[in-house]
Amino acid sequence: MRFIDCEDVVDIATGSALLGAGGGGDPYMGKLETITAIRECGPVQLLDADEVPDEWTVASIGSVGAPSVVLEKGVNGSEYAIAHDFLQRILGKKIDAFVLAEAGGLNSLVPIAAAARVGIPVVNVDGMGRAFPGLQQDTYCLNGVPTTPMVFVDEKGNRSVIETIDNDWAETIGRAITSASGGAIINMGASMTGAKMKQCAVRGTVDLAQRLGAIIRQATSVSAECGMTPQEYFLHESGAYLFMHAKIADVLRETRDGFNFGRAVLEGIGQDRTKTGSVVYQNENLYAEVDGDVVISVPDLVCLVDADTFLPITTESLHYGKRVLLVGLSCDKAWRTTEGLALGGPAWFGFDIDYIPVEEQWKRIFCATMP
């Protein structure tokens, strides 16, 4: 157990944005909201999974919708208590702690801000080990936790709760509510016992995010002490696989059905100047191609980071001319099972792509061409 204070929030936001794989919301919004909540309500108790009593009820909380809309609408801070009260009323029992729905610049922090405002602990776990666009794409659902009853509360104070016959209907109806409320909303669901959470959550997410955030923050200053360039330090310490040095040559965007859809076109720079590539996204980056070859795909993490600062670039902040590194991170092992791939793999998104783990892809491409 430890307490999360304002100074922890900055690294958690940065590292979560990397885990968000382009999605999971803007880390700046997440920081602002969470630092305000902690200043007003005090530090938040962070429990490790094993510290949660089996008989507790925990629920996940996050922001749903198009990240570009969240940037404009924001949250007003009162949604969390409204959602917590409403879900407790429906369940007829107390919700003792929040878990993260997903890792992301905003969505790792919403549960922390909510925990501060509601006055309950947050658990050091999430349901993805990354971010995914679908409400039902998490390891909670993968392990039989019904995602509903799920509550939606918008910044105006409108609230809804849905109970659906399956998790796919939760996504369909929940997304419609999100769109009707303007394209972004706070949601709370996947309520489960502490015992169930221990079986199915991805553990240590907040710690991992904070560690990744510290690596990114320190890369430019401490790398020399370790005899590495900043880029080497970032890649080595984070476990990210580098596929391309690039400049963003074009961004195609569409905001539709409560999602951001699009494609970033990459033009190689430096040692990769002869290459071209692209990243296709739906809130999160879904797959990346280099010279017509798919090099990283869901459920692994497809990330674009700033070429100099290694700060993760979320899909809503992609813009022409930005110099980036295209990197991949291995997903949690839960996503590499048959069931995991069915819910989080390329086919779920309608892509005819054979999933090959990112570390194998990297070896195939770079170890063969090494001298």
Binding site for a second copy (CB under 8 A): 86, 89-90, 156-165, 169, 172-173, 175-177, 179-181
Complex with a second copy: residue 91 or 311, whichever CB lies closer:
91
3-state secondary structure 232-279: HHHHHHHCCEEEEEEEEEEEEEEEECCEEEEEEEEEECHHHCCCEEEE
Minimum Å distance from CB 87 to a second copy?
Answer: 12
CB nearer to a second copy: pick between 256 and 273: 256
- Helix, strand, or coil (residue 130): coil
Interatomic CA distance for residues 66 and 70, integer angstroms: 7
Six-digit token pair at 57? Answer: 């009820």
DSSP structural state of residue 331: P
Q: Which is nearer to a second copy, 86 or 310 (CB)?
A: 86
Quick one: 74 or 182, whose CB is closer to a second copy? 182
Find the shortest distance in angstroms from Cβ 129 to a second copy.
29
18 contacts 329 by C-beta, under 8 angstroms: yes
Residue 93 C-beta: closest distance to a second copy, Å:
13
Tokens for 240, please give them. Answer: 């990210």
Which residue, 164 or 315, has its beta carbon nearer to a second copy?
164
**Distance, first Cα to last Cα, the chain:** 48
Q: How far is the CB of 212 from a second copy (least distance, A)?
A: 37
The dihedrals phi and psi of 88, each to the nearest 5 degrees, come to: -60, -40
For the bound state, the minimum distance from the C-beta of residue 77 to a second copy, rounded and expressed in Å, comes to: 16
d(CA 364, CA 76): 48
Nearer to a second copy, 75 or 295 (CB): 75
Q: Name the residue among 191, 187, 165, 192 with its Cα closest to residue 176.
A: 187
CB of 88 to a second copy, least distance (A): 13
Q: Coil, strand or helix: which one is 342?
A: helix
Can you read off the two tokens belonging to residue 147? 């995602």
